[in-house]
Structure formats: C-alpha cells, structure tokens
Amino acid sequence: MQTEAMKLIISKLALALLAALLLMATAVSRLSAGLASEGAQDPGPAYTGDAQLKFPENYRRWVYVSTGFDMSYNPAMQTGHHMFDNVFVNPEAYAAFLQSGTWPDKTMLVLEGRMGEDKGSINKQGSYQGSEVMGVEVHVKDEARFPGKWAFFIFDNEKTAKIVPADMSCYSCHADHAAVDTTFVQFYPTLLPIAKGKGTLSAAYKREVAAQK
C-alpha cells in the first residue's frame, strides 16, 4: 500500500507534468498565431475595386519552385547583362499540385527577376543574384474571373497591377508550349516528375519533346 508521503509525491509529479503540458500547448499556440499574423500563407489573389491585382507582399514566404538563368524564348534576344528569374507559388496550390499534378483554382505563380552580379565580396568566378528586384510578374488562375482561367499581371514598383491584355504573346506562348495547365512546369525540376507520374503533361509539350529527340 502507498504511504501518504508517496501519494503526495505522485500527486506533485502529476501536477508538474500537467503544468509542463499546458506550457507546451501555449507555446505551440503562440507560434501558430505568430506565423499567421506574419502572413506565412496568403488566402489567394486579392483585387481592387477596378479589377487590379494586389501585390502579394509575402510571396517570398511561399514555396520556392525554381530559378532560371539568362532564359529567353527568343533566340535573337540580347540583354547585355545576366538575369536570374526566381519562381514561387502559394503553399496551398503547391500542396494541391503534389496530389494531382496540376494547379487548383486560385493558384498564384510569382516570377521575380534579379540582376546577375559577377563582382562582389570574395566572388572571383560565376554569377550571383543582386539584391534589387528588377520586376515581378504574377500568373494567376481564377476561373470565375478570367475567360481563359489564367491571367498575367506585371508589377513595376507598384502595389497593384492591371491585367495584361489577352492578345499579348505571353498567353499564346504559354498555351502552345507549357507542360501543365499553361504553366512552364518543364522548367520546375521537382514538379515535372510529378506531372509525368500523374499523367498531366499537355499534348503540345509532349509533341515538342518528341520532336527534339
């Protein structure tokens, strides 16, 4: 039989354990609240009253997809400098892509351009990204809003952007060459295998790949 002293010790240990669990639960709750208040995730595209897209302020907290270096779809294009293009996608859309191999409604893909630098600090060879953002382009899927489901917006140091007109070449280029749902998943090394596995590659992209062999 337990003595009164043992019972008291067990009771104190139980209270201490309960207090520790409560502290842990409080810490987790505060951490979650802090992440939410910092905007770790965005609810989706937001627009002004005149249909301009609001700049996704927290896109650099999103999922990083890929970086292109000096990429151009025009073989005659000469920029005279190096450029890096970083692509980010909102976390909800990324999670859906992992499951289905395609993009859900309210997907936002952000392409951020930064100048390539070759002289700085201890760097003696190769290029690295400069700190100044040269431009931001957002590709938005909003099926109820856009006739073609997707639309482009280009931000130039502004907090809002007007939609790029549907007759601009970026729409036809993506429609004719994109690997998945008018997006260039062929340049996203971690997502292309998923699209292949899910069977969501576009017929146009598969024809291009076959023609290059």
Q: What fold is seen in the domain 59-168?
A: Chalcone isomerase (3.50.70)
Nearest in space to 63 (alpha carbons), one of 40, 89, 45:
89
Query: Which tens digits make up the pLDDT trace of 162-212?
Result: 999 999 999 999 999 999 999 999 999 999 999 999 999 999 999 999 999
Looking at the predicted structure, is the pLDDT value of residue 38 above 70? no
Q: What is the pLDDT of residue 188?
A: 97
Question: What are the domain boundaries of the chain?
Answer: 59-168
Query: Which tens digits make up the pLDDT trace of 66-114?
Result: 999 877 766 665 666 788 999 999 999 999 999 999 999 999 999 999 9
Is the pTM higher than 0.75? The answer reads: yes
From residue 184, how far is each of 14, 19, 98, 114, 200 by CA, in Å? 57, 52, 16, 19, 13
Q: What is the DSSP string of 114-173?
A: EEEE--BTTB-SS-EEEEEEEEEEEEEE-TTT-TTSEEEEEESS-SEEPBPPTTSHHHHH
First-residue to last-residue Cα distance in the chain: 82
